Amino acid sequence: MIPSNKELSSFLKRKNPKMGLLDKLKVVYRPYICPFSVLLTEVKNVDSVFDIGCGSGQLLFLISEFTEVKKIGGVEIKQRLIDNAKSLLGERNTDFLSVYNGKDLPNEMDIFDAIMLNDVWHHIPKAQQDLFLREVYSKMKKGAILVFKDIDASSFWVHFNRFHDLLLGEGGGQELSLNEMIKISENIGFHVKNSFKKRQYWYDHYFLVLEK
Ligand SMILES: C[S@@+](CC[C@H](N)C(=O)[O-])C[C@H]1O[C@@H](n2cnc3c(N)ncnc32)[C@H](O)[C@@H]1O
């Protein structure tokens, strides 16, 4: 059974990750504002998961702890966060974890059954979003799924997320609505297997499960 977000946060806290204070707070308390338990549920039956924009690796860590997933990988644009992720993942195989230029995804992505894109979209400049998603699509194997989550631009509460990103110096602000995201995904060739919304505190999230 997948733990609740509160249980996931307590689990991360007990692990006491070795990283800078702000990164550590983001890792430990993120399940309170980002519904990680939903993300884990979406990949609980696949063999391998690749996380684009994996941050400090907590999603991959939780996936490898609480699901049947056997192989993990991911990319990040910041070396510091990849170092955090490797430290958090400890003994687990991190051969498929690397820093990249934010544009050209690795070819090895095509060995993974599920790709995650969690709260990365609103950090990609609007003019580059379509090209970015095309690159994701082109590197996925046929039949693989993309589990996409972002903040809903059609919600009034999107301003709270923008304030949050501003406070944490994370950029962002490029959110789209669920309907806009569905149109873009279908134009690229994805089949929309599922889509739904979930509010956690004042954060309105939407999820898309997209199949290549
Ligand atoms: C809000 S954080 C989310 C981190 C992680 N996915 C999570 O849910 O915990 C956004 C992340 O996207 C990364 N990012 C920004 N632009 C990116 C790009 N073009 N490709 C991959 N990651 C990117 C940032 O470095 C940051 O780690």
Could you please report the per-residue DSSP string of 14-26? Answer: HH---S-HHHHHH
Q: Whose CA is nearest to atom 3 of ligand 1?
A: 119
Task: Check pocket membership of 78 for ligand 1, CB cut-off 6 A.
Answer: yes
Model confidence at 112: pLDDT above 90: yes
> Can you give the pLDDT at residue 193?
97
Task: Check pocket membership of 175 for ligand 1, CB cut-off 6 A.
Answer: no
User: Looking at domain 33-211, does it have CATH number 3.10.450.50?
Assistant: no
- Angular region, 29: left φ>0, alpha ψ -120 to 50, beta rest: alpha
Q: Whose CA is nearest to atom 23 of ligand 1?
A: 53
Q: Which of 37, 123, 135, 139 to mutate to test the pocket of ligand 1 (most atoms within 8 A of CB)?
A: 123
Q: Whose CA is nearest to atom 13 of ligand 1?
A: 53
pTM score, two decimals? 0.94
How close is the Cα of 138 to the center of ligand 1, in Å?
Answer: 20
> Can you give the pLDDT at residue 204?
85
Q: Name the least confident of 7-16, 99-108, 157-166.
A: 157-166
pLDDT tens digits along 9-62: 999 999 989 999 999 998 999 888 889 999 999 999 999 999 999 999 999 999
Q: Cβ(33)–Cβ(58) under 8 Å? A: no
129's enclosing H/E stretch is helix 126-139
| Domain residue ranges in the chain | 33-211
Task: Check pocket membership of 23 for ligand 1, CB cut-off 6 A.
Answer: no
Confidence of residue 93 (pLDDT cuts 50, 70, 90): very high
The CA-atom distances, in angstroms, between 131 and each of 82, 150, 172 are 24, 17, 17
